[in-house]
Structures are given as structure tokens and as C-alpha cells.
Structure 1
């Protein structure tokens, strides 16, 4: 329960951790990407261009695009070889230094992810469903902090949701958190950006406390609803949120506890069925938009 962020000091900051610019295969320059997120009400953004040789291993320097009410995190999407079903990985690394060296020819995914984490990055398994990652693939990446459980771009191919793999990894003892992201490229055929985000609880908008909060799991993810509070007491979880039509508690056992309603804003659900010692909360509004907590250890 220590990772529940709702009563930690500070406030929630809205941000996107996975976005691309024309430094790799995005349509827009970094300045325009930042402008769009800022105008959409975001507090921070990570531009994570594809760290590939064909693009010159770009790592977007967005420091000059920061302002008193908006900040940027530096990062990239790393592509070492290979997974069971693909010639390359997709590994998100947010918080990299600008002089992060390009991959060595013999460097495998586990080694590159460890090096990114050692350099200060928050490391995530990007869009596992879209990449057809197996549990064996995911378990080999021992430096990961989190799984990208929802990817708005991959949703166009019906592979946006990666909770199943995440739940399997949690049941196998991997203490991972779970974030949602746009993976926006702003190409004409793409869905619009600003569709999935994290709400990070930190005392300030500076990059350092935001990264520390991400690594500690002090955040939740959303495509629409807001979570105001989640508390566990006496075998029940109490959820307070913006109006939703469904609240679910799922965990390491098959099945779920579910409450339906027209405009639910507070409810309590029992936790006795979650014998494997963890659960997570999902809320869904009438438009089908969802928000998710990180795993809660009971």
C-alpha cells in the first residue's frame, strides 16, 4: 500500500511519457509537439524518439522548451535486438542524459536497459501487446520499472491494452508499475495525440522530483477519468473519483469485484478474493474512457 500516491505531499501533474517528433518518424518538430501538449493542459512531456542508427540516435534536447508552468523530460525509445517474435525491442527510457552512448554492436536488451537505468532513466516495456512480447521476453528485461499497459497508437490495431501480460508478471513476483501513453507521431493516418497520460504525484514540476515519483510508483494512469483517492482499510478498498459508470478491482486471481452505476463517485469493494496479495483498480466512464491505479500490495 505504500505506493498509493493520493496522500503523498505535493499534487498531481499530468504528463505523457511516450511521444515522437521529426527527429525520428514523427511528423512535427519538437517545438510543435511541446506546444500541442501544453495547449491541451499537460504539465510535462517526454519526447522519446526512436534511438536508431538511421536517425542518428536522436535524443531530443527540449530543455529550452521548459517554462515555469511546463517542463520536459529527456528520453528515447531504445531498440536492441531481439524478442521471440520481432527483430527488435521497444524499450522506453525517460530521464536519459543527453550524452547517453549509442548501443554497442554486441549489447543485448537486458544490458542496454540496465545501462539506461544506471544512467538515471525510468525504464518501461513499451506497447507489449503491439510488439507481441512474451512473458519470457518481459522477464528477461530485469531493469524495467514499469509496463506500458495502454498505448493509444496501438489501440488502432486492437493491441492497445497490455494488462494481461502485466498481471502475469505481477503474479510471478515482478514488482512493476503500469503507465499509459500516447505514442503520438502526429502522422495524418494516426489517432490524435493527448489521449492517454499519467498523473504523477510530486512536490514540484521539476524533472528530478517527477522522475523520482515515477520510479517510486507515485502515479496513476488515465484516458479520461480522474482518481481522487484510493484507500485500503479492514479488507475493503474505497475509491473516490470523477463520475464513472463502473469500478473494478482485479488482481492475481481470476475474476473481479465490480460495481456499476450511472455516476459513481465513491464506493467500497471487498478484497477477500485476492489471495495472491495484490490488486489494482480500474474505473470506466460512460464514454468508455478508463483510469488505472498501479498494483496495490495488500
Structure 2
């Protein structure tokens, strides 16, 4: 029997949002009010990730004054440098940056000559201690070649709520699955990308398993992959048992297991809190991930479980 780290690591689950903006860049609320609203909505932690470009003063906003009992913050930013294949500037999420992280040459959202590439600034952020994710692949118009270049990333945004609200381009699953199929050991995050200029908030989050609600413990758990992502449903256990993946959750109507290529199998029902999905149609995929979908269409996503040649699982 094998379980993802989220269901074996010590501690409890903490709910947090990893992608948020304020008036320090293009958001409409000041940092203190953004933190207040997330705390009031029952979140345990928040990363304020304003756009790290020159026209905003390269902000890594100090949110430590807004921490309170039961609520913490992690310093971060959305990094920009270099052009993607479509000629637009990279968007790379970095959570856990030091406050003195050196800025790139990114004066505006328009790429300029002799900038760091997206791959270079992502690697520099990881070296500085950050948890790094490829932001909103669908919204960005990311190609697979673009995504392949960011070799230092820990994660891909599988869902971005702001992109759902603002342009109906919320998805990162296609890029994530292609990278997984190429052997990239990536995790999957759901985020808000909240600006509070439209209904782009409180719609996608991570549930991080850690022994305490502190920036250091949360960051270590994120890097280890000890979390799942959700729009609403709770994942209570995910485990491989023989030729099935067993999922225990809050009430859902569908549980889907996915692997490389066309490999997928769904189980459907009413108010299911336990489902056993057979894996024969996953084409002996070396990785498996799970989505649980409730009656309102809200999803929860596990991180991948890795299997050597379809056997002897390894867990992210």
C-alpha cells in the first residue's frame, strides 16, 4: 500500500493561497486588507505575490505585521524576466523569497534585451530558498517547449481562479501531464491569483500537511509535495492498493485516476466518500494522479504518485 506524502507526513492540514496581489502591484486592496480578508475567510496562511517588476519597485511585500494567532504569511513575488515563445514576458510564482532577492532587469511587462531568461530567474529563486511554480500555463499561452525550459520549478498551477473568472483560461493540466510524462517530478497547485477587481478570490487553494503553521514548516512541506489542491472537496486519503487507487474524500460524484497519454479511468456515483478506481486502463503509467469532483463541479487534485515501470511506487 502506498500513499502520497500528504497523507503520511506528520502534522495536520493547513489551508492557504499561494498567489495574490495587492496595491503594491496591480491589485486593488492594500496588503493589510488582503491579509485580513483571507484570515476572515478561514485561511491559515497566505503568500502575497505582487508583480516583481521595476514599474512597481520590485516589491517583496513585508507581510509579517499582518500575521496573527492562527494565521501566518509567507513572503513571495510573481517573477518576470525573458520572453516566452509568444514574445510575452514570463510569469513565475516564487513563494518563500528572501526580502533582499536581487531583481532582474524587468522595467515593465514588455521583454527587453539582455534580460535573464525565465529559466534563469526560476533557478535563482529556487537557489534562494523559494518554492517555485509555473504560473497559469493556459492564460500565458505556454508551449511545451516553454515549460520544458523551467527545469528548476517545483510545481505547475493546475488551476488559477483569477484566470477562470477573467478569461476562462484557468487550466494547467495539459502542460503538467506532458511534463509528468517526460519524467518531471512536479507537484500541482491550485491558486487564486486574486486582484480583488473581479470575483477572483477564495476559489482555489492548497491544503498543506505540516506539523505547525509557520512559514518554515509550510515551505518545507510545499517543497516536499506534502499537500493537495482544491476548489472545495476534501481529500482524506489516497492510496494504491494492488491494481486500484482508493480515494477517501468528502462527498463527491466522480473520482478520476489519470496517467500518461490516454490513460484514465473514472468511477461515478452519488455522495461517494470512498471510491476504488481500477488502474488497468492507465496504460501501466509510471505516474498516477487523482481528481475528485463534487456535485457542484468543484474539484480536488492529488499530487502524482510515481511508479517505476508501473510497479514499486514512489511517492511525491
1:202 paired residue number: 210
- What is the Cα deviation at residue 255 of structure 1? 4.1
Q: Any conservation in 1 of the 2:81–2:115 contact (CA below 8 Å)? A: no
Larger deviation, residues 264-273 vs 212-221: 264-273
Q: 1:92-146 deviations in whole A, cap 9, x for unaligned?
A: 0000000111114532211111110000000000001000101100111111000
Q: 2:172 aligns with which of 156, 162, 167?
A: 162
Q: 1:148 aligns with which of 138, 150, 157?
A: 157
Q: Any conservation in 2 of the 1:177–1:294 contact (CA below 8 Å)? A: yes
- Structure 2 residue runs of 5 or longer lacking an equivalent are 106-113, 308-316
Find the aligned partners of 1:291 and 1:25 in 2 and give their Cα distance: 29
- Structure 1 residue runs of 5 or longer lacking an equivalent are none
2:184 paired residue number: 174
Find the aligned partners of 1:3 and 1:238 in 2 and give their Cα distance: 12
Q: Any conservation in 2 of the 1:34–1:65 contact (CA below 8 Å)? A: yes
1:9 paired residue number: 10
**Matched residue SS, 1:5:** helix
Q: Any conservation in 2 of the 1:197–1:223 contact (CA below 8 Å)? A: yes
Give the structure-1-normalised TM-score: 0.97
Q: 1:131-179 deviations in whole A, cap 9, x for unaligned?
A: 0101100111111000001000111312101101110111111111100
**Matched residue SS, 1:273:** helix
2:83 paired residue number: 82
Q: 1:288 aligns with which of 284, 297, 315?
A: 297
Instruction: Give the paired residue count.
Output: 296
- What is the Cα deviation at residue 2 of structure 1? 6.4
- Pair 1:129 & 2:126 matched: no
Q: Any conservation in 2 of the 1:47–1:60 contact (CA below 8 Å)? A: yes
Give the structure-2-normalised TM-score: 0.91
Name the CA shift for 1:2/1:118 in 2 (closer, same or farther; >3 Å). farther
Q: Over aligned residues, Cα RMSD in angstroms?
A: 1.2
Q: 1:18-37 deviations in whole A, cap 9, x for unaligned?
A: 00000000000011000111
Aligned structure 1 segments of 4 or more residues deviating by more than 2 angstroms: 1-4
1:92 paired residue number: 93
